[in-house]
Amino acid sequence: MLLYFIRFLFFLTAASVLLVGLNETAKSEQDIKVFIVGLAICIITIITEWLTPKKSLSALAGVFFGLLIGILISWAMTRVIEMLNEIYNLQLQEMTLRMIIWMAGMCICYLTISIVVRTKDDFRFVIPYLEFSRQIKGLRPLVLDTSVIIDGRIADIANTRFFDSPLIVPRFVLNELQLIADSADKMKRNRGRRGLDMLNKLQHNPSVEVIVDDTPPPGIEEKAGVDQKLVAFSKNCNGRLVTNDYNLNKVAQLRGVDVVNINDLANSLKTVTLPGETMQVKIIRMGEDQRQGVGYLEDGTMVVVEGGNDRIGQMINFTVTSALQTSAGRMIFGKLEDGSVSSSPAPVGASASGGASNGTENGFRRNNYQNRPPRKY
């Protein structure tokens, strides 16, 4: 609405100036032509601005910087051309000389603008133009990854008014969501649509500010991967990257980008379990070892119970022996409260008392679960 008002105000001001100028002249045919041409230029300017797609601030700054350099070089070249005309007595007519100067100026401006726009991310020694990075005032923004949006827990966290910083969704992330939503694979299509629904839910949430940013990441080609663009984008806007992707998490940390992992946040909010506590879980399948049964708590925590292989489908009480905390989630190891175990032989390397040996604890194969790759949404 504000942009429409500015356009209307510009047209009204330009028309008023032209009318005042026409009234103060002799209103000859030439004056009327000047009025019509000026009015047409104003209309063309508004239409051009209206039809021009949104550009990044760095690209516009590069254009103006290149134009400024081109004007300065053109001014110097004008003096050089006039001096050459006098020294070598070329006897160029005034109109011809002016035409040469104008053509040279336009070519120089074009070259400087094109060079600056294409190399603006490589020049790091010219005044503020060098960086073209945005200086964020106030709280650092949170840059959302595709996996976090599809996961959906970010919307529930936003409802708690936990975020004070704005949430930024880069345009290439939105494009990836749309590409996933249009996939021929049903699973991917459902995930993409879920991500778009979650993003729409976030945008209509009054507790958080969501910004879809069209700024391209500096120094990154258009064909580069989304992960590479996310790291460059977050570094450019001095933001924190929110992701569930384990590999992207590590790469971003190596590049010096702060990462917020939703899994880490969820794990830190889970109830702390200490060895010796008694808990209840339903065994749903066998574990990596024949003597192990696997179940899940209500919050999704994986539980491995020694001797639970013959209790599949039953709700059992078990005693916690240890817990394993990783970025991919949390696991709890325990044994049946009554001490009963299956009759299958103990794993190789376990002591008679069931102690830890060769990387096992209480006869459990922990490494098989610990080294399992994290779940990516």
Rounded percentage of the chain residues whose pLDDT exceeds 70: 76
Task: Decide which of 359 and 58 is more confident.
Answer: 58
The runs of H, that is alpha helices, within 88-139 are 94-119
What is the overall mean pLDDT for the chain? 76
248 pLDDT exceeds 80? Answer: yes
Tell the CATH topology of 271-370. OB fold (Dihydrolipoamide Acetyltransferase, E2P) (2.40.50)
Looking at mean pLDDT, say which of 36-50, 57-71, 279-293 comes out highest: 279-293
Report domain extents, the chain: 2-122, 142-267, 271-370
Q: What is the pLDDT of residue 120?
A: 60
Could you tell me if residue 329 is left (phi over 0), alpha (psi between -120 and 50 degrees) or otherwise beta?
left
Q: Are 280 and 298 in contact (CB under 8 A)?
A: no
Q: Are 133 and 157 in contact (CB under 8 A)?
A: no
Q: Is the pTM of this model over 0.75?
A: no
Angle between helices 29-51 and 2-24 (to 10 degrees): 170
| Residue 351 per-residue DSSP state | -
> How does residue 72 score in pLDDT terms, banded at 50, 70 and 90?
very high
Tens-place pLDDT, residues 106-121: 888 888 887 877 766 5
CATH of region 142-267, choose from 3.40.50.360, 3.40.50.1000, 3.40.1000.10, 3.40.50.1010: 3.40.50.1010
Task: Decide which of 211 and 373 is more confident.
Answer: 211
105 pLDDT exceeds 50? Answer: yes
Decide: helix, strand or coil at residue 15: helix
* Mean pLDDT across 67-94: 86
142-144, strands of its sheet edge to edge:
210-213, 167-170, 142-144, 240-243, 259-261
Residue 144 corresponds to which tokens in the numbers above?
A: 């959302």
Tens-place pLDDT, residues 132-170: 444 444 578 899 999 899 988 888 888 888 888 889 999
Give Cβ neighbours of residue 322 (< 8 Å, ≥ 6 apart). Answer: 275, 332, 333, 361, 362
* Mean pLDDT across 322-328: 73
